Structure 1
């Protein structure tokens, strides 16, 4: 396989407006919400040919927010930047900025407004 293994991700939400506001505040981005016949999807910005997977917030009855599910890592310039905005946006810090190793950088984990466990990764 020539590509990285992750090609797409979806983060389950119970309240699209609340989740949209949270992620926009934490990452300083705009999320575009589209209704696909009753399935609401909040699209994270598409950076074109930039590395990394594209994804959405998703609201549909079979998608249930959870701390126990797959852990998505968002790439960051410095994990602490986003962690500093988590609580003001309505989330909770789950794991503070922690060094993985000198060669692999840092990580941090938070709980979003929907109850999902989500991670951050940076080299600094």
Structure 2
């Protein structure tokens, strides 16, 4: 049911570098009259949601408030191994939700956002 998400950032260059490093993707940044968007690449032929990093004064990063976005992963341990080196902080390491559901982890990105990872068993 999710079709789009936006992650607030204070420093677009820093945030772009962090997410490109952790998820091994390339992001394109566009300026829409002072509203900066750093686009996450969509998965071809996929129904999964995509989104963007957003820099504007009305977008405020938070380590505790707001919606928690979960990024899909083959194994959350892969991204967890990169997060601190890329400037983030691990809040909750790889945790099994249940044997049938899979695993999750939570981190704080370079902008102060609480973000999660999810992988299936």
Fold in common (TM above 0.5): yes
TM-score by length of 2: 0.96
Q: Which runs of 4+ in 1 moved over 6 A?
A: none
- Greater shift in the superposed pair: 45-54 or 79-88: 45-54
Matching of residues 1-124 of structure 1 within 5 Å: 5-67=1-63, 68-124=65-121
**In 1: Cα distance, 2:6 partner to 2:47 partner:** 17
TM-score by length of 1: 0.94
Deviations 1:40-93 (A, max 9, x none): 000001113213101000001100000122100000000000000000000000
**In 2: Cα distance, 1:49 partner to 1:17 partner:** 29
**In 2: Cα distance, 1:32 partner to 1:94 partner:** 28
Q: Which runs of 5+ in 1 are unaligned?
A: none
